[in-house]
Amino acid sequence: MRVAERRPLPLRIRTDGIAPIVALLTVLLILIAFVQPDFLAPSSLMSFLGRSAPIILLAAGQYFVIVCGEFDLSVGSLVTAQVVVAARLIDSDPSRTWPVVVLLLAGGALVGLVNGLVTTVLRVPSFITTLGMFLILVGAVYLWSDGAPKGGLSEEFRRFGRRAIEDVPLLGRIPYALLVLVVVAAIAVVLTRSDFGRTLVAVGDNPRTAELSGVRVVRTKTIAFMLSGLAAAVAAILLGGYSGVSFQAGVGLEFGAITAVVLGGVALGGGRGSVVGAMLGALTLETLFALMNFAGVSGALRSTVQGVIILLAVAVSSLRSSSSR
Amino acid sequence: MTALAAVSVLVLAGCATDEPTASPSGTASAAAGSGTGEQSKFFVQADYDNELALLDATPTGPADKPWEQVLNPKMVDTAKYKKPGKHKICFSNAALNNPWRQVGFKTMQAEVEAQKSRISEFVHVDAEGKDQKQIADINDLLGKKCDALIVSPNTTATLTPAVEAACQAGLPVVVFDRGVNTTCPVTFINPVGGYGFGHVGAEFVSQKMKPGGKVLALRILPGVDVLETRWSAAKIALDKAKVNVVGVEFTDGDPAKTKKIVNDYIQRYGTIDGVWMDAGAVAVAAVEAFQDAGKPVPPINGEDQLDFLKLWKDKKLTAIAPTYPTYQWRTPIIAALNILDGTQVSNPWKLPQPTITQDNLDQYLDASMPPLHYAMCGCTDLPGYPQRWK
Amino acid sequence: MTALSLRPARHAVPGVFVALALTLVIGWLVVLLDGGQLFNQSTTVSLLHVAAGLGLVAVGQTLVILGGSLDLSVAFVISLSTLVAAEAMNGSDGAMLPAIGLALAISAAVGLLNGLLVTKARINAFIATLGVGLLLKGYLDNGYDGPAGESAPALVRTLGYQRVGPVPLSFVLLLAVTAAAWFALSRTRFGHHLVAVGGDPEVARLSGVRNDRVLITAHVLCSLCAGLAGVYLASRLGSGAPRVGTEGLYDLESIAAVVLGGTALAGGRGGVLGTVGGVLLLASIDAVFNQLEVDAFFKQVIRGVIIIAAVAVYARRAMRKAGS
């Protein structure tokens, strides 16, 4: 019953946790407005949101895992594997598009299920589980495809990530990826406000207390991993559509997603933060990359700029939250 | 607080790094105007001049087998390595982690199969892109009674001590692709090289585009020797043509990142008049970025990967494909067998490095092969073609 | 098994040595059937060299993980250290010791930064060290377009290639560092405090441990170990290499080795001896697969499975122990 008593707490934090990331995003957007005013034109902004959809989705998926106190390092390799598998199975045949889409979603959920069960039932720390899964997926996909992606994606498959509804009044254009994002984001928000969402935060906050108060920790965490796997599958469909087949499709996305989630005010270790914050964190990172493109920051120095901003942002927000206690 | 700090960092970094693209270039180029920054310290003028001369040189050797041809041969004696019977050939491979190396290695395996009457055993060790592991691998192979050792080094400078140790063990060493900083191997095999590659692409792009137009240079990674030479040669050509290099960006070979970069540059500059790339891996993504933005695709260079060649033909691009031919993976086997026969080989063994142009595009475009297959594999006469490469 | 579990957890010889012995015996048999020799001189030397490089990093990583922290910046520290060492030496034996000192000092400074970010700025170690890694990556990408500097010939001769029988000097160095770390952990106040902080920071603080100082020290020591690995690699490679740390995947592999060695990722439990076992296990798998010419990608799958399986076994044991 203590879980029930705790309910108001996560709800309150949910709203104030995103203030820093909103501030940072606003500043970046103002800077872009100076450097590249037409970036903020509706159709350009829509395209930007569309191309940022995959990483935002990954951040949303990662949120569920992180808020219950775990990690998912396998999402990047899962995206790569899914894109390569999709190309080989579709083999440029449009009629196979939908079956393969369904298969990818099922595959993503399955990988999440395995991650979840190994972490909860076998009690392997999720860092290790998903690191192992990362190695397995990358190795397996290279092995299966003999070192070079084969086949090709159909135009129907690529449409989701690459095309848009054009000539929309006011907005200019609406990328399909953005539609997918809006739907998934809505589902994610609804989920976090449901009982499941509160249980998830409670589990991350204190697994033992949650367990004692009757929460099924194993099931909750496993579902979180499956959500992350599903999000990775959707991201893979959009990313494969956006940029085509390659082994590089998902490289480094796990770190990007985790960074985004933390930037968005979600505590690693669980128990604190909101999915909106996580998605805004991803959007902020993408905005930062665009700003660096527009401002002409030298390619080689970009990681330094990225590192400094991440460290400062996280330090400031963690010092703020610890001093306010 | 966060925001303020972040802004100041970004502004600082932005200001400091605007310099390289804005300042006139240094050592290598006399061209004024928009420069591409200082020349790499690995740039060697003599090698550059040599490679550019080799691009036009006439090779010796069978006309239909470029992997057996040599540019400017300098024969060395190999009588002391002569050995009867079948041979055990060992190969220390830098990595198999990209399609170029995959296609190359399959070609090499096929060559071994084609020569199986003379090769008793072929041992392959993959260093997985790790210098440290390759050094250990070479040492390990020295204990395996190999008759000849082939090395494709992961990094030129850092593999040098290990290759020297192998030479001292007394067996003939053949190095290919990247070189080493020692003359001890019997021969070093590679095509014309990175300067030639970078020059061909940059010269084409700068000549086909409007004079003084805006060029975007897309590179894979910093710090990889073969890619650095391509870029340093391209710099000279671009500066000489007095085009405006508006950006030099690293893509990590990631097509999504490439599309985002190109898209943002199109937005920033309105148009981009030419694209130069140091490798073809993301050429298709770059072209797509222009298509998706509704802009004409400017003159661009790719490589001999089939997805690019196909797109080039279908969309009638103004394009060129300098190559770093994968057929060079056949040559080390041939060279090792020649050496064990005591026949002379050329050192260095410079292979021709053909360029795919509009005129010969159809000759290389085989739509039945996988999208990331390299057209210049020289593998059509080998056992198992085409299934082995599919 | 029972004998092992009777000992106190911290001093237990982890099951990794059982796995190591099994791997070596099975590997030796399989390689023999394949017509090869696993334990010939050159293979053993190669195996120990690979183990020495990873081992130095992993011993340092053990310290931070024991304290409940983590270091994802080690790969970049290694690259940086090879460059600092090789450039400062510039091929001269006279400059060897000062150059090594400089490389270690700079590495320690990075460790100090990591430690301060984790403790004083209260950034989660994962993000803090990832961020510091990005800072270093930018510096390396921007400053170097390839290998630079030249290691002192004396260093290359000794640390790089000298060996005693089949045992390279570098492996002796690893054993020495391991012994020092073992001593620090089990016989000094710092060690006890570190384990206490990793076990339960709150309890440690209440019992008078200065958590921040202990963690900062662990981070400095971890980066020092990575710096030392960098010096060793500079001696192997003959020069500094800006990508050697990342290409070697030293960040993830060192964490994998630590965990294989039985140290709990959450901190507070484990030790450096197990880590060396984990390193030797990874290197042995490498060696066996090398002899059998197993596809590198297949090997990666196997590695993933082994890492998960090993940790699952430890978890099972820990549960049983807790239940008894």
Q: Give residue-wise pLDDT tens across range B101-139.
A: 999 999 999 999 999 999 999 999 999 999 999 999 999
Measured distance CA(A99)–CA(A96) in Å, rounded: 6
Q: What are phi and psi of C119, to 5 degrees?
A: -90, -55
CB of B30 less than 8 A from some CB of A: no
Query: Chain B residue with minimal CA distance to C230?
Result: B132
B288 touches chain A (CB under 8 A): yes
Q: Say if the Cβ atoms of A143 and C137 lie within 8 Å.
A: no
* Predicted local distance difference test score (pLDDT) of residue C294: 87
Which chain C residues have a beta carbon less than 8 Å from that of B165? 161
Q: Considering only the beta carbons, identify the residue of B9, B252, B265 that sits closest to A293.
A: B265
Asked if C293 lies within 8 A of B123 by C-beta distance, the reply is yes
Please answer yes or no on whether C248 and B130 come within 8 Å at the CB atom: yes
CA–CA separation, A100 and B213 (whole Å): 44
**With bands split at pLDDT 50, 70 and 90, how would you rate the model's confidence at A324?**
low
Domains and CATH numbers, chain C: 14-22+39-317 (1.10.3470)
CB contact under 8 A, A243 and B256: yes
pLDDT digits (tens, 9 = 90+) for B147-206: 999 999 998 888 988 999 999 999 999 999 998 989 999 999 999 999 999 999 999 999
Chain A positions touching B250 (Cβ under 8 A) are: 299-300, 302
Cα atoms in the 13 Å half-sphere on the side-chain side of B75? 11
CB-nearest partner of C290 from B125, B222, B225: B125
| pLDDT band at residue A325 using 50, 70 and 90 as cut-offs | very low
B:247-276 residues touching chain A, CB 8 A cutoff: 247-250, 252-256, 258-261, 263-265, 267-268
Best of A38, A135, A298 to substitute, by most chain B Cβ atoms within 10 angstroms, is A298
Q: How does residue B35 score in pLDDT terms, banded at 50, 70 and 90?
A: low
Q: How far is C188 from chain B (nearest CA, A)?
A: 34
pLDDT bin (cut points 50, 70, 90) of residue A242 is very high
The set of residues, in sequence order, having a beta carbon less than 8 Å from that of B170 and lying 6+ positions away, is: none
CA distance C28 to C38: 5
Number of folded domains that form chain A: 1
Task: Let me know if A125 is exposed, middle or buried by CB neighbors in 10 A (0-12, 13-18, 19+).
Answer: middle
- For residue B15, the model assigns a pLDDT of 36
Band of residue B36 on the pLDDT scale cut at 50, 70, 90: confident
Do residues A137 and A81 touch, judged by C-beta distance below 8 A?
yes
Q: Is the pLDDT at B18 greater than 60, yes or no?
A: no
CATH number for the domain spanning A169: value is 1.10.3470
List beta partners, residue B245: B215
B76 within 8 A of B187, measured Cβ to Cβ: yes
State the DSSP code for A200.
Answer: H
Q: How much is the ipTM here?
A: 0.91
In tens, the pLDDT along A5-24 reads 444 444 444 445 788 899 99
Query: Residue A139: which of C123, C300, C319 has the nearest Cβ?
Result: C300
Is B259 close to A243, i.e. CB distance below 8 A?
yes
Structure tokens at A213: 């108060």
Domain assignments of chain B as residue spans, ordered by start:
32-56+194-323+356-385, 71-191+326-353
C301/A262 CB distance under 8 A: no
Contact C144 B223 (CB under 8 A): yes
Q: Using the beta-carbon criterion (under 8 Å), do C247 and B129 form an inter-chain contact?
A: yes
Query: What's the mean pLDDT in A30-54?
Result: 95
Q: Model confidence over A182-209: pLDDT tens digits? A: 999 999 999 999 999 999 999 999 888 9
Q: Which domain holds residue A12?
A: 2-323
Q: Is A299 left (phi over 0), alpha (psi -120 to 50) or beta?
A: alpha
**Rounded Cα gap, residues A308 and A211, in angstroms:** 39
Burial class (CB in 10 A: 0-12, 13-18, 19+), B30: exposed
How many pairs of residues across A and C have Cβ atoms under 8 Å apart?
142
pLDDT (tens digit per residue) in B272-306:
999 999 999 899 999 999 999 999 999 999 999 99
- Can you tell me the distance from the alpha carbon of C201 to that of C210, in angstroms, rounded to the nearest whole number? 10
Residue B145's region, left for phi above 0, alpha for psi from -120 to 50, else beta, is left
Chain A residues whose CB is inside 8 A of the C307 CB are: 128, 131-132, 135
Whether B23 shows a pLDDT value over 70: the answer reads no
Give the global pTM.
Answer: 0.90
Contact between C123 and A127 using a beta-carbon 8 Å cutoff? no
Chain B residues within an 8 Å CB radius of A298: 17, 20-21, 248
Q: Which residue of B has its CA nearest to C147?
A: B157
Tell me, what's the pLDDT at A240?
96
Q: What is the CA radius of gyration of chain B?
A: 22
The pLDDT value recorded for residue C74 is 98
pLDDT tens-digit profile of B142-158? 988 999 999 999 988 88
Which helix H or strand E contains A256, and what residues bound it? helix A253-263
β-pair type (B173-176, B274-277) = unpaired
The owner of tokens 């369904």 is A102
Q: What is the mean pLDDT of residues B247-254?
A: 92
Q: Residue C296 and residue B126: Cβ atoms within 8 Å?
A: yes
Radius of gyration of chain C (CA): 20
Question: Do C184 and C32 form a contact (C-beta atoms < 8 A)?
Answer: no
Q: Which residues of A touch C265 (CB under 8 A)?
A: 125, 127-128
pLDDT of residue A322: 66
Cα separation of C255 and C273, whole Å? 14
**Which member of A136, A301, A322 has the closest CB to residue C301?**
A136
In this prediction, residue A26 carries a pLDDT of 96
Question: DSSP code of A173?
Answer: E
B25: three-class secondary structure by DSSP: coil
Quick one: pLDDT at residue A5? Answer: 40
* Nearest-angstrom CA–CA distance, A161 and B207: 35
pLDDT of the residue at A8 = 43
Per-residue model confidence (pLDDT) at position C14? 62
Confidence of residue A298 (pLDDT cuts 50, 70, 90): confident
Instruction: Please state whether the peptide bond connecting residue B161 to the residue before it is cis, i.e. omega within 30 degrees of 0.
Output: no
Contact C216, C117 (CB under 8 A): no
Q: What is the pLDDT of residues C233-269, one digit of tens each?
A: 999 999 999 999 999 899 999 999 999 998 998 899 9
C-chain residues near B164 (CB < 8 A): none
Q: Residue B254: closest CA among chain A residues belongs to which residue?
A: A248
* Contacting subunits of A (3+ beta carbon pairs below 8 A): B, C
Question: What is the arithmetic mean of pLDDT over B90-100?
Answer: 93
Q: Which residues of C touch B142 (CB under 8 A)?
A: 42
Fold observed for domain B32-56+194-323+356-385: Rossmann fold (3.40.50)
Determine the pLDDT at residue B215: 96
Please tell me the predicted confidence (pLDDT) of residue B374.
Answer: 95
* Chain A CB contacts of B288 below 8 Å: 162, 243-244
Per-residue pLDDT of chain C (324 residues; tens, 9 = 90+): 333 333 334 445 567 888 899 889 999 998 888 887 888 888 899 999 999 999 999 999 999 999 999 999 999 999 999 999 999 999 999 999 999 999 999 999 999 999 999 999 999 999 999 999 999 999 999 888 889 999 999 999 899 989 888 899 999 999 999 999 999 999 999 999 999 999 999 999 999 999 999 999 999 999 999 999 999 999 999 999 999 999 989 999 999 999 999 899 889 999 999 999 999 999 999 889 888 888 889 999 999 999 999 889 888 887 787 765
- Asked if A298 reaches chain C (Cβ–Cβ under 8 Å), the answer is yes
Mark yes or no for CB contact A295/B10 under 8 Å: yes
State the residue for tokens 């045992």. Answer: C167
d(CA B140, CA B92): 10
Chain C interface disruption, residue of A303, A309, A317, most C CBs within 10 A = A303
Under CATH, which number does the domain B71-191+326-353 receive?
3.40.50.2300
